[in-house]
Amino acid sequence: MIEPAARPALAAKARLRYDRASGGYLLLYPERGLALNATATSILKLCNGELTVDGIVEQLQREYTGRTTPELRQEVVGFLEEMARRGLLRMSGAAG
């Protein structure tokens, strides 16, 4: 379960890369890669270890005006949990 005050960052092994062929982004890690959709890309670009989950939702809200904040939060948390389960995110401490 991810705390709203956690500050997610990409794990050391994971790297975002722009993909000329598709015009989208890939998340690369050892022996694997994920092709990201636009929302996933926006979320991961905000995982800088400084923004909290709430902060990420707030930023995204400006871009995704068609969705309510609870909807957006649910989507972000679900995605971050899946990424954490795969070991692709680390959570900096909630304090500070």
Which residues of the shown chain bind another protein in the complex (CB under 8 A)? 11-13, 15, 17-19, 21, 26, 28-31, 33, 84-87
Looking at beta carbons only, is 13 or 94 nearer to another protein?
Answer: 13
Looking at beta carbons only, is 31 or 70 nearer to another protein?
Answer: 31
Looking at beta carbons only, is 13 or 68 nearer to another protein?
Answer: 13
Candidates 42, 48, 49; CA nearest to 25 is: 42
Looking at beta carbons only, is 51 or 91 nearer to another protein?
Answer: 91
User: CB–CB of 49/9 below 8 Å?
Assistant: yes
* Helices and strands, number each (H, E), in the chain: 3, 5
- For the bound state, the minimum distance from the C-beta of residue 42 to another protein, rounded and expressed in Å, comes to 20
Candidates 74, 78, 83; CA nearest to 45 is: 83
Angle at 52 between CA 48 and CA 53, to 5 degrees: 105
